[in-house]
Amino acid sequence: MNNTTPPEKKRSGHGSRWRWHGWVERLSLSSGHEVMALLSAQGEVSLRALEAFESWSKDPTGESATSVRELEHAADDARFRLWAALKVSLATPVGQEDLFVLSERCDRVVNRVKNIVAEAEVLSWSPDSYAAEMAADLRQGMRSVLEGFQALGGHGDQTADAALQATRCVRRVEHTYRNAMAELSRRPDMREVFTAREIYRFYGRVAESLEALADRLWYAVLSEP
C-alpha cells in the first residue's frame, strides 16, 4: 500500500498554512492601527484638557476648573485603553516602548495642569496675564503634539515638524516665565509674591513635561524602521 500523501492534500496543507499567516498579518495590522488610533485619542482628550486649562487661566470663575478635572479623568481612561491594546498587540507601526512612553508623558502634562488648578484653589490664587499667556502656549504645544501623534508611523517629516513646533511653544513659555518672575520682584505684598512664584513654577514644570514629550516624539521618528 502506498502511504504517500496525495498531492492535492499537500497543496491543501500549504494553503492552510498561508491562510494562517495571512490571518496573523491582518490581525497584526488591525491591532497596530488600533493602537495608533488610541494614541491619537489620548492626544485629543489631552488637548481638550489643555484648552480647558487655558480657559481657566484666563478666567477661573466659570466651569473650566471642573472641566479640567473631568478631562484629566477622561485622559486617564484613554491612557489605560491604549496600554490594554499594547498588551495584546502583535505588531505596531511604532515601537511599543515608544508608544508607552509617549502615552505616559502625555498623561503627565495633563496631571500637572490639573494640579495647578487644585493648588491655586487651595492658595486662593487667581491666574494673571502671565499665567494666561503661558497656558495659551502650552495648549498650542499640545496641539502640535497631537498633530505629531496623528502623523506618527507613516509621515516622519510631519511628526518631526510637529515635535519642533511643540518645543518652540515650550521656549515661549520659558520666556514668559522669566518675565513673570522678574515682575514679581516689584510687588510689595510678600505673600502674593510667594504664592505667585510657586504657581509660576508649576507652569514651568508643565512646560518641562511638554518638552520631554516632544523629545520622545522626535526619538520615535528616529527609531522608525
Nearest to 208 by CA among 164, 160, 181, 170: 170
pLDDT-based confidence at residue 144 (cuts at 50, 70, 90):
very high
Q: Which amino acid is at 219?
A: Y
pLDDT on residue 223: 77
**Over residues 73-93, mean pLDDT:** 91
pLDDT-based confidence at residue 181 (cuts at 50, 70, 90):
very high
User: CA neighbours within 13 Å on the CB side: how many for 217?
Assistant: 36
pLDDT on residue 173: 98
Phi, psi (rounded to 5 degrees) for 169? -65, -40
pLDDT-based confidence at residue 92 (cuts at 50, 70, 90):
confident
**Over residues 62-73, mean pLDDT:** 96
- CA atoms of 30 and 25, how far apart (whole Å): 9
- CA atoms of 80 and 114, how far apart (whole Å): 18
Nearest to 195 by CA among 104, 118, 124, 96: 124
Burial 137-175 (b: 16+ CB within 10 A, else e): bbbbbbbbbbbbbbbbbeeeeebbbbbebbbebbebbbe
What's the grid cell of residue 99?
508608544
Quote the mean pLDDT of the chain.
87
Task: Please answer whether residues 124 and 163 qualify as being in contact, where contact means their C-beta atoms are separated by less than 8 angstroms.
Answer: no
- CA atoms of 166 and 180, how far apart (whole Å): 21
What's the grid cell of residue 9?
492534500
Reported pTM: 0.84
Reported residue count of the chain is 225
Interhelix angle 7-58/64-88, nearest 10 degrees: 160
Task: Please answer whether residues 24 and 75 qualify as being in contact, where contact means their C-beta atoms are separated by less than 8 angstroms.
Answer: no
Asked whether the predicted pLDDT for residue 165 surpasses 90, the reply is: yes
User: CA neighbours within 13 Å on the CB side: how many for 17?
Assistant: 6
**Over residues 67-76, mean pLDDT:** 98
Domains and CATH numbers, the chain: 30-222 (1.20.58.220)
- Cell 509617549, residue located: 102
